[in-house]
Amino acid sequence: MKDYKKGHRKRLRERIILDNGQSLLDYEILEHILYSAYSRIDVKPVAKSLIENLGSLNKVFNADLEALQNIEGVNNAAISAIFCVKQAFVRSAREEIKDLPIINNWENLLDYLKVSIGSLNKENFRVIYMNKRYRLIAEDLQNFGTVDQTPIYVREIIRRALLIGSTSIVISHNHPSGDIQPSSSDMFLTRQLAEACKSIGIELIDHIIITFSSYFSFKENRLLLE
């Protein structure tokens, strides 16, 4: 009987080179990424198990350490490979906003937020600090929250802005549920921060609730202080 596993990695590499990987199935993309983690075994079952257990290729790359460790056959080398790919996505998207006025590159900012926090399974709160020309000077991942609540430390955000000389900020957090509508807590905390910013001359440009596929803008919905 012919051993179809023999030469499988070579054949997969040849397919990738032939059409830039466009014909690959999701598990085959993940399979190739995992080759560095498993030098001598068939990684197809591991790749398929990751996607089946987590739900999609996107969710694999946005899974946290605990979720990945709970899948049989996934070792630390595989987890580090997955984390590195996620960081490649995030940093590539960040390059698109790093040197340009963010206020004039809103779509790039939304893309960056979708990639960086939009698919995470816990609420994360990101603060983007800008200078007078609306160019990025710093960003903080303010807090790792629970599934449905993120504490926002208004005092810390203001202190950080003053420390680095930021004159405008954008804040964003994800909703793991996929529902982009703001909660009453979102509304209250945004008002708190907006009032604090206004009192010291810092511009709160927007609060964006983000998921991987959609967003809610407080500014577009006229929910920010004028």
Number of domains in the chain: 2
Q: Is residue 210 part of a domain?
A: yes
Q: pLDDT category, 5, cuts 50, 70, 90?
A: low
Q: Is residue 59 part of a domain?
A: yes
Pairing of strands 168-174, 124-130: antiparallel
Instruction: Report the distance separating Cα 182 and Cα 208, nearest Å.
Output: 9
Query: Do 104 and 210 sit in the same domain of this protein?
Result: yes
Please say which residue of 70, 89, 108 terminates a domain: 89
Query: Do 13 and 54 sit in the same domain of this protein?
Result: yes
Q: Is residue 222 part of a domain?
A: no
Q: Is residue 94 part of a domain?
A: no
The mean per-residue pLDDT over the stretch 216-224 comes to 95
Q: Is residue 180 part of a domain?
A: yes
Q: What is the pLDDT of residues 170-184, one digit of tens each?
A: 999 999 999 999 999
Instruction: Report the distance separating Cα 216 and Cα 108, nearest Å.
Output: 15
Query: Do 41 and 130 sit in the same domain of this protein?
Result: no
Q: What is the pLDDT of residues 29-81, one digit of tens each?
A: 999 999 988 877 889 999 999 999 999 999 999 999 999 999 999 999 999 99
Q: What is the pTM of this model?
A: 0.84
Query: Do 83 and 104 sit in the same domain of this protein?
Result: no
Q: Is residue 190 part of a domain?
A: yes
Q: Render 57-125 in DSSP notation, one character per residue.
A: HHHHHT--HHHHHTSTT--HHHHHHHHHHHHHHHHHHHHHHHTS-GGG-HHHHHHHHHHHTTT-SS-EE
Quote the pLDDT of residue 4. Answer: 42
Q: Is the CB of residue 61 less than 8 Å from the CB of residue 82? A: yes
Q: Which of 8-12, 70-74, 144-148 has the lowest mean pLDDT?
A: 144-148
Return the CATH number at 71.
1.10.150
The mean per-residue pLDDT over the stretch 124-128 comes to 93
Return the CATH number at 159.
3.40.140.10
Q: Which domain holds residue 52?
A: 8-89
